Amino acid sequence: MSIWIRYLVAGLLAGFSLNILAADIAPLQQRWAEIQYQLPEDQKADAFEALAAEAEQALAQEPDDAPLLIWRGIILSSWAGADGGLGALGKVKEAKSLLEHALRVDPQALQGSAYTSLGALYYQVPGWPIGFGDDEQAEALLKQALALNPDGIDSNYFWGDYLIDQKRYAEARAALLKAQAAAPRPDRPLADQGRQAEIRARLDKIANR
């Protein structure tokens, strides 16, 4: 087999595996966006619970699949936010474990999304003695996410949101404007629409800061 054929076969196989991967996580991504941005608040917890079960089933077949690990972590985090109460901390702890697993498997998966999601947990979850929240750890993780995806809508949005939390408003505004200018994701229009609304809300929040 010539070297060119070997490269062609490798490229086709890589494309094939990526297509399978996209097919695996695309329904989770789409349903997450529908729940997050379209369902009434009082229906979100049950819907995220059902989606978390779907992600768990998929992950049982591919326990070291980094994108699936990331998305189950995202879904659990969202479920915790929608559900609240005493059970929320257990969900975010499991999400943290899944995201850490994803980083061990492939830190660059989904353009560093595990860093973004884990960083978000670290600044949103309460610190000791209640939870594992840690602003310094959050900042380090979010900066790693930006290093891998400097122009991404989510990496810049969560960096901006973290900076608001830290009262670093000028930096936050710059990050949010960069998120607002991010290129649309053709396969995730609903998620982009919802995120852009969140960006506008954050910018309005700090308009006079």
Residues 100-121: what's their mean pLDDT?
98
Tell me the pLDDT tens digit for each residue of 54-77. Answer: 999 999 999 999 999 999 999 999
pTM listed for this prediction:
0.88
Mean pLDDT of 101-111: 97
- 64 Cβ contact partners less than 8 Å away, ≥ 6 residues apart: 101, 105
Quote the tokens at residue 194. 């919802």
pLDDT at 23: 38
What is the structure's pLDDT at 44?
98
| Domains of the chain (ranges, CATH numbers) | 9-149 (1.25.40.920), 150-209 (no CATH)
CB 119 within 8 A of CB 138: yes
Specify the 3-state DSSP secondary structure of 159.
helix
Give the model confidence (pLDDT) of 11-56 as tens digits: 333 333 333 344 389 999 999 999 999 999 999 999 999 999 999 9
